[in-house]
Chain A
Amino acid sequence: MIVAIVLVLYGLLAALALPKVLKRASWADRAPRLGIAMWQAAGASVVASALLAAFAVAVPASVVGHGLADLFEACAALLGDEAALNSTSTRASLAVAVLIVARVGYMGAAVLLRARRERRRHAEALSLLGRHDGDLDALVVDYDERLVYCLPGRKGHAVITTGALRSLAPEQVAAVLAHEQAHLRGRHHLVLAAAEALARAFPRVPLFEQGRVEVARLVELLADDVAARRHQRIHIATALVGLATGSVPAFALGAGGETALTRVRRMLHPQAPLGRRERITGRLAVTVLLAGPATLAAAPGVAAFLAHHCHSLLSL
């Protein structure tokens, strides 16, 4: 029971406090990939702590450390023994666990399926409107607005409008398309879908709400960095400005202003990437976030295991 309480407290603390800590972290802009991993690990950590808390209530901790056979036996006994299954706390905690898994699974599937359906519809329209340019390796659409985007998926490709092609120099076009290819190759749409699914599954939880926004931002920075490996940063920066200016936004404004400014500044004045020590610290933090809840849940079991076996060693 104590384990369950500790796990719940940890989960609550992480869900409320971690976004503040992570958002304040200025290093994320210098290492977007690590930043994304940190948000993902934090999300997984909170979900895992909730699940494990529920299991800790349902399964007596003393059997956890005694190997898998004992654990399965305890579970089987739990299922076979109506009295144990009927105890209110066990049933309630199992229901909570099932609910969490179902909610995350349902939202994940819903987000992915809807995105796929809309992408397919869009791809169908593009098959009538766009023509594939082999040199650019992108679909070109006759349209005056300056738009560049990618259509992810198995047959994913970058899309660029003639308006964008006209307003950008060839090397800028190449840099922009490299950015889109980075999205496609990195399967960033799945990263975004995961963040989206968590935010929808548990609305108004600060960690997931801000995680969705931050991951979307960091994914852009990451794609800029990947593009900057082969293209000059100035081309990415000028392309951003070229695409942003000149056209009158006639419809729905995105909330991309601040991110765009960050991106231009990052490309013009690159900061040193994280040092070795900072990277190792970051990876350690990711590991702690991922392994933390399981360690907490297993602690009493391990303690019981040690007590049991040390006892038998002593009595030899």
Chain B
Amino acid sequence: MVRGLGELESTIMDHMWAIKRPASVRDVLEHLQQERALAYTTVMTVMDKLHTKGLLKRQPVGRAYIYEAVSSKEAYTADVMRASLAASGNRAATLVHFLERLTPEEASALEAALQVYPPGGRSS
């Protein structure tokens, strides 16, 4: 059940990110029902949750709300990825990055180290 809702969250967000314009619960429901049967209240609950999480913003229109994605998918991804890097700097226990961010000088030092490696030993 929980996993189902999580999946629905991601489906709804993908739809909201794709259409890039405001939509009511009814609009979203109609789109989703092309693929599977869903109750209006289910979609309403999930969209309300996404609003609580700060992913959707909404405005009351009549007796219902019109929802819209707070930011584009790209911008949201950038925020999340940046946060992940910031977290790995001080709190190593949270995430472990393959490589910390390097300065351009450090990066070219790495490249130089690879250059001096005898080409015969390179297999890639």
Chain A residues close to B by CB (< 8 Å): 111-112, 114-115, 118-119, 122, 124-129, 141-143, 145, 147-152, 161, 169, 171-172, 176, 179-180, 183, 188-190, 192-193, 196, 212, 216, 219, 232, 234-235, 237-241, 243-245, 248-249, 251-261, 264-265, 268
Contacts and interface: CB of A to CB of B under 8 A. Distances in A.
Interface in B50-101: 53, 55, 73-74, 76-78, 80-89, 91-101
Contacts of A259: 100
Given A256-B99, A257-B106, 13 more contacts: A111-B91, A122-B87, A129-B73, A142-B74, A189-B92, A232-B124, A235-B124, A238-B124, A243-B98, A251-B82, A252-B86, A256-B101, A256-B102
Interface residues of B, number: 50
A126 B103 CA distance: 27
Q: Which 6 A-B pairs have the closest CB atoms?
A: A254-B100, A256-B100, A257-B106, A193-B93, A148-B98, A149-B97
A129 B80 contact: yes
B27 interface: no
Given A148-B98, A256-B100, A244 B123 contact: no
A219 B93 CA distance: 12
B38 interface: no
Contact of B110 (A141, A252, A255, A264): A264
Nearest to A149: B97
Given A245-B110, A261-B109, A125 B96 contact: no
Contact of B96 (A161, A188, A240): A188
A205 to B, nearest CB: 18
Contact of A234 (B13, B77, B107, B123): B123
Contacts of B55: 128
A149 B84 contact: yes
Given A251-B82, A254-B89, A241 B111 contact: yes
Main secondary structure of the interface of B (DSSP, over half): helix
Contact of A147 (B85, B86, B123): B85
Contacts of B88: 149, 254
A240 B91 CA distance: 22
A234 B92 contact: no
B10 interface: yes
A268 B94 contact: no
B18 interface: no
20 contacts: A114-B94, A119-B95, A122-B84, A122-B87, A147-B81, A148-B99, A169-B124, A171-B124, A179-B98, A189-B93, A190-B93, A235-B124, A237-B114, A241-B113, A249-B103, A249-B104, A254-B89, A254-B100, A261-B110, A268-B113
A192 B99 contact: no
A144 to B, nearest CB: 9
Nearest to B3: A127
Contact of B93 (A179, A196, A244, A251): A196
Given A256-B100, A257-B103, A264-B114, A172 B92 contact: no
A192 B95 CA distance: 10
Contacts of A119: 94-95
A245 B113 contact: no
Given A253-B103, A256-B100, A257-B102, A127 B9 contact: yes
A41 B15 CA distance: 53
Contact of A261 (B14, B106, B117): B106
Contacts of A179: 98
B93 A112 contact: yes
Contacts of A111: 91, 93
B93 A127 contact: no
A149 B96 contact: yes
Nearest to B117: A268
B80 to A, nearest CB: 4
A142 B77 contact: yes
Nearest to B98: A148
B95 A149 contact: yes
A122 B121 CA distance: 40
